Amino acid sequence: MITTSDIAATALDDPANTSGVSWAAIFAGAAAAAALSLILILLGFGLGFSAVSPWSNEGISAEGLGISTIIWLAFTQLLAAGMGGYLAGRLRLKWTTLHSDEVFFRDTAHGFLAWAVATLLTATVLVGSVSGIVGAGVQASAQVASGAAPTALAGAEDEYGYYIDGLFRDDRPAPSADDAAHSVVARILARSLDNDGELAPADRAYLIQLVSQRTNLSATEAQARVDAVYAQARESVLQAKQTADEARKAAAHATLWMFVALLIGAFVGSFAATLGGRHRDTAVILVSDYRTTTAPLR
């Protein structure tokens, strides 16, 4: 006769009433993957700093550094996610009454969850580095989009002081005193360089006249000096904009390749978990008389 207690015990033993997630195995795999990721990332930083040189034409180039960073990031994801997924599959609970398709799905889910937890842990540790990359890209994009360069900074006279001094440089022993003319020239340079780098004819004529009066140069010589100094300032601004645009592109490429590497890590972690689960189910055990059997672990 089947009693109520027997029905309750049968219901408790039913796999449908138990969780299909072995969180202990997932967190164990995630911790191992996060630790390995951190170690490999720090190693990559060390190798990168050792390959970079502050001297020109020495050390690895910026392009080579970017490519090597992408390769190392992908390698880190492959190794860390693979190990974390395998541990999550190998250490999970035994499912004795499930169909093989369901076991395969659960192993895949365990690998994916282990990768997700490890990614969140690693991102928490490295949040400063990631936000720095993204912030640099956003800032560079804003600068390029708005045409911002040194001309958009406050204190244009300090920014263009070198070029202003070049305009008023002469052969007299006493240097020209900084007066209101320097501030006027600074504002002219700032506005002109922001306006597609074109110097208005009226501003150009005024600068030629001002330089000629202050340096005792002829109108022709003052004109040549104004054109030469303004060309130097314009070239400096163009280089600053180009640098900002390159920083924006580098940040965009780094973010996209990080996305690709994370997708690779998710796939590898899920696949490795299926291998770990398969090895868990077909593990070879030793019996007391030193004979081996392929009976699955309980």
In the chain, what percentage of residues exceed pLDDT 70? 65
pLDDT value for 32: 92
Instruction: Please provide the size of the chain in residues.
Output: 298
Q: How confident is the model at residue 167 (pLDDT cuts 50, 70, 90)?
A: low
pTM over 0.85: no
pLDDT value for 229: 84
How far, in Å, CA of 109 to CA of 186, rounded?
63
Q: Over the Cα atoms of the chain, what is R_g?
A: 34
- 121 closest CA partner among 60, 214, 17, 35: 35
Query: Rounded mean pLDDT of 46-56?
Result: 71
Residue holding tokens 């138990």? 18
Q: How confident is the model at residue 141 (pLDDT cuts 50, 70, 90)?
A: very low
**H/E/C letters for each residue in 230-253?**
HHHHHHHHHHHHHHHHHHHHHHHH
User: What are the tens digits of pLDDT across the range 99-133?
Assistant: 888 888 999 999 999 999 998 888 887 765 545 55
pLDDT value for 233: 83
Least confidently predicted of 15-19, 88-92, 280-284 = 15-19
Q: Which of 84-93, 150-159, 172-181 has the highest mean pLDDT?
A: 84-93
User: What are the tens digits of pLDDT across the range 217-257?
Assistant: 888 888 888 888 888 888 888 888 887 887 777 778 778 88
Looking at the chain, list the stretches that DSSP marks H as alpha helix, in order from N- to C-terminal side. 4-13, 23-51, 62-90, 100-125, 127-146, 156-159, 161-167, 180-194, 201-215, 219-281
How far, in Å, CA of 266 to CA of 108, rounded?
10
pLDDT value for 145: 44
- 69 closest CA partner among 94, 44, 36: 44
Residue holding tokens 């039913």? 14
Q: How confident is the model at residue 12 (pLDDT cuts 50, 70, 90)?
A: very low
Residue 29: Cβ within 10 Å count: 33
Q: Does 7 score more than 60 pLDDT?
A: no
- 275 closest CA partner among 4, 88, 142: 88
